[in-house]
Amino acid sequence: LAVIAILATALALIAEFDSARLFDIAADPAALGSSEFLPKGYFGIWAALPFGMWLFLAVEGVPLAAEEAKDPATDVPKGIIGAMLFLFFTAILVVFLLPGAAGASSIGSSGVPLFDALNATGQRSLATAINALGLAGLVASFFSIIYGYSRIVFALSRAGYLPRFLSLTGERHIPNWALIVPGIIGFLASLSNEGGLMLSMAVVGATISYALMAASHILLRKQQPDLHRPYKTPGGVATSSAALVLSLIALTGVYAYDPRAFWYTLALFGVIASYYFLY
C-alpha cells in the first residue's frame, strides 16, 4: 500500500513538475561553497547525509531472514539487490518530483512531504487517500522492525552475548522472549517526546554497523581468501573500502545535524562494549 502511495503521488505530480522549483531556496552567502545548486554549501551536503540514508535504512535487515530462507545463498542476494534497486527508484521519485512540484523550500520544511506536495498542487482528495496509505505503510514497517530485532536478539543470545533466556523458542520454534522483551523496551521509549532524537540515534547506529560490516568484509577477504563464498561482492575489497569511507562520513553527518544523537549513541555503544569486554 505504501508503494502504491508513492507511485500514485509520482503520477499525480509529473504534470506539475518544474525544474526551477528545485532551486527556490535562497543561497546562504556565509556558507562555504554556497550557490543556487547548493544553497547551504558543503555543510548542507554533510548535514543532509543522514536524511539520504533514511531512503535506504533497514534494507540490511533482509539477510536476517537467511535462516528461514529455502536457499539463502541465492535468495538473500536477490532480495537485497532487488530491494536496493527499487528503493533507488522510489528515492529518485521522492527527491525530485516532490520539490519540483511544490518547491524545495516548502518540502524541505515539511514533516509529511507527500501529503503537502499534493495539497500544494490542489489535489486534496488524493492527498487524504495517500495519507491513509502512508499510515498503512508505517504500520507495516513496525512489523518488519519487530521481525528484524527479534532475529538479532535471538542470534546474539544464542551466541552468548545477551542473556540466554532471550534465545529460548516456543513450540513453533519462534523466539518468544526475543520478541517480547525488546518490544516492551521499544514501547516505553515510544512514550517519550524524543522521537526525532531516537531516529537520529538510529542513523548513528546504522552507520556504525555499516562501517563494521565493510571492515569485516575486508578482513575476511584478506585473512581467509579461500573461504567458500556462494555470493561475491562486485568489486571486492574496493567496494567495501568505498562503503567504509562513506559510512564514516555519514556518521559524522549526524553530528552536523544533531550533536546530541551523535554523542548519546557513542555513549550507549561504550556501555554495550564495556558489557561485552568485562562480562
Q: What is the pLDDT of residue 165?
A: 94
Contact 166, 154 (CB under 8 A): yes
Q: What is the pLDDT of residue 50?
A: 78
pLDDT of 101 over the 90 cut: yes
| Per-residue pLDDT reduced to its tens digit, 190-243 | 888 887 788 888 888 888 988 999 999 999 999 999 998 888 888 999 999 999
Q: How far apart are CA 151 and CA 61, in angstroms?
A: 10
Band of residue 1 on the pLDDT scale cut at 50, 70, 90: confident
Contact 53, 203 (CB under 8 A): yes
Instruction: Using alpha carbons only, give the angle 256, 262, 265 rounded to the nearest 5 degrees.
Output: 165
| Closest CA relative to residue 247, chosen from 85, 26, 56, 75 | 56
Of 141 and 132, more confident: 132
Q: Which residues of 162-188 are buried (b: 16+ CB within 10 A; e: fewer)?
A: beeebbeeeeeeebbbbbebbeeeeee
Band of residue 58 on the pLDDT scale cut at 50, 70, 90: confident
| Closest CA relative to residue 69, chosen from 80, 58, 83, 84 | 80
Contact 103, 96 (CB under 8 A): no
- For the segment 11-31, the average pLDDT, to the nearest whole number, is 91
Q: Give the list of residues 6+ apart from residue 8 with CB closer than 8 angstroms, or none.
A: 126, 129, 130, 133
pTM above 0.85, yes or no: no
- φ, ψ at 100 (rounded to 5°): -70, -20
Q: What is the pLDDT of residue 150?
A: 93
pLDDT of 108 over the 90 cut: no
Of 2 and 204, more confident: 204
Band of residue 137 on the pLDDT scale cut at 50, 70, 90: confident
* 143 CB-contact burial (10 Å; exposed 0-12 / middle 13-18 / buried 19+): exposed
Dihedral of alpha carbons 124, 142, 76, 224, sign: positive
Q: Give the list of residues 6+ apart from residue 160 with CB closer than 8 angstroms, or none.
A: none
Crossing angle of helices 2-14 and 124-158, in 10° steps, is: 140
How many residues are given for the chain? 279
Give Cα separations from 83 to 59, 79, 220 (angstroms).
7, 6, 25
- For the segment 148-166, the average pLDDT, to the nearest whole number, is 92
Q: What is the pLDDT of residue 49?
A: 83
| Per-residue pLDDT reduced to its tens digit, 71-82 | 988 899 999 899
What one-character-per-residue DSSP string does 173-227 give? S--HHHHHHHHHHHHHHHTSS-HHHHHHHHHHHHHHHHHHHHHHHHHHHHH-TTS
- For the segment 122-135, the average pLDDT, to the nearest whole number, is 89
Instruction: Show the cell assigned to 227.
Output: 573461504
- For the segment 6-23, the average pLDDT, to the nearest whole number, is 91
Average pLDDT, the chain: 89
Band of residue 245 on the pLDDT scale cut at 50, 70, 90: very high
Q: What is the pLDDT of residue 257?
A: 79
Band of residue 35 on the pLDDT scale cut at 50, 70, 90: very high
Neighbours of 255 (CB within 10 A): 18
pLDDT of 100 over the 80 cut: yes
What one-character-per-residue DSSP string does 53-89 give? HHTTTTGGGGGGGGGGSSSHHHHHHHHHHHHHHHHHH
Instruction: Using alpha carbons only, give the angle 270, 272, 278 rounded to the nearest 5 degrees.
Output: 95
